[in-house]
């Protein structure tokens, strides 16, 4: 199986922490040069770059808010000026602003949609400008099982993540003839800073609902990203892969 990503340039949005960090380090371990995008946490992004370079890989960090068109244009201009190409885009950046719907503010709804969904649109559009010219590329969108099953208090997050699934399928149909694949991954509950805050009793109830009996790890998601970015996955597009230990079964 070909998982060698040598001479590939990858961009991971929100790549400084959690799932994004695992994706960046895994792609780099497979040989890709990784550009790590971050919005505000320069320290985490720099630490991820240092981890990759210490292991013999190549990486750099670029600050940009993916919800802003001007920032996205600057991000891609800097990347292409440095490397001249983009082979892999991983749309991972995301935020939460959880609140019951009746109490949710317009600002909290818009903020989540702008980063989690509009950011995917802006980055994908920018990536396709160079990928279509080269007639090659891999786009991998990080969604969530919440976009499939919903979750109380996360109407904004669920709407954004569900939107990513439709966006993935539509984009895959549009640009498949250019040898560009577009797929989505919907993680379940993954061991990150966010899930570390779950109360012990709620955590036990959650684990009881997961057939595999554990939360996932960022590496579980990163391994699938690496596969979808590799030559071995060249005939897979428009799909959503659920990585959730069996929490959601259709």
Active site residues: 157
User: Which structure tokens are listed for 161?
Assistant: 């993540």
Backbone φ and ψ of 105, nearest 5°:
-85, 160
- Can you tell me which residue has the tokens 């959730």? 244
Question: Which residue, among 78, 183, 171, 85, has the nearest Cα to 135 in the 3D structure?
Answer: 85
- Measured N-to-C along each axis, helices 218-229 and 18-29 cross at an angle, to the nearest 10 degrees, of 50
Residues 6+ apart with CB under 8 A from 23: 12, 15, 90, 92, 218, 221, 222, 225, 226
The DSSP code sequence of 140-195 is EEE--THHHH--TT-HHHHHHHHHHHHHHHHHHHHHGGGTEEEEEEEE-SBSSHHH
For residues 42 and 33, is the Cβ–Cβ distance under 8 A? Answer: no
C-alpha count within 13 angstroms, C-beta hemisphere, residue 30: 26
């Amino acid at each position: 199986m070909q998982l060698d990503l040598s001479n590939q340039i990858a961009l991971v949005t929100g790549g400084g922490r959690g799932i994004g960090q695992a994706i960046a380090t895994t792609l780099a371990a497979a040989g890709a040069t990784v550009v790590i995008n971050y919005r505000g946490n320069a320290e985490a992004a720099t630490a991820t770059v240092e981890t990759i370079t210490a292991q013999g890989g190549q990486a750099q960090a670029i600050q940009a808010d993916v919800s802003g068109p001007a920032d996205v244009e600057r991000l891609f201009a800097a990347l292409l000026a440095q490397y001249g190409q983009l082979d892999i885009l991983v749309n991972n950046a995301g935020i939460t602003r959880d609140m019951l719907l009746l109490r949710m503010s317009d600002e909290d709804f818009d903020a989540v949609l702008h980063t989690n969904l509009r950011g995917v649109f802006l980055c994908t559009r920018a990536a396709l400008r160079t990928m279509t010219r080269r007639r090659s590329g891999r786009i991998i969108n990080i969604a969530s099982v919440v976009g499939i099953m919903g979750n109380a208090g996360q109407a904004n997050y669920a709407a954004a993540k569900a939107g990513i699934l439709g966006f993935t399928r539509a984009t895959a149909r549009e640009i498949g003839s250019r040898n560009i694949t577009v797929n989505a991954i919907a993680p379940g509950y993954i061991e990150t800073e966010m899930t570390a805050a779950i109360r012990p009793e709620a955590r036990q109830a959650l684990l009881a609902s997961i057939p595999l009996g554990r939360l996932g790890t960022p590496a579980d998601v990163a391994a699938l990203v690496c596969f979808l970015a590799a030559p071995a996955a060249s005939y897979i597009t428009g799909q959503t892969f659920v990585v959730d230990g069996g929490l959601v079964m259709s």
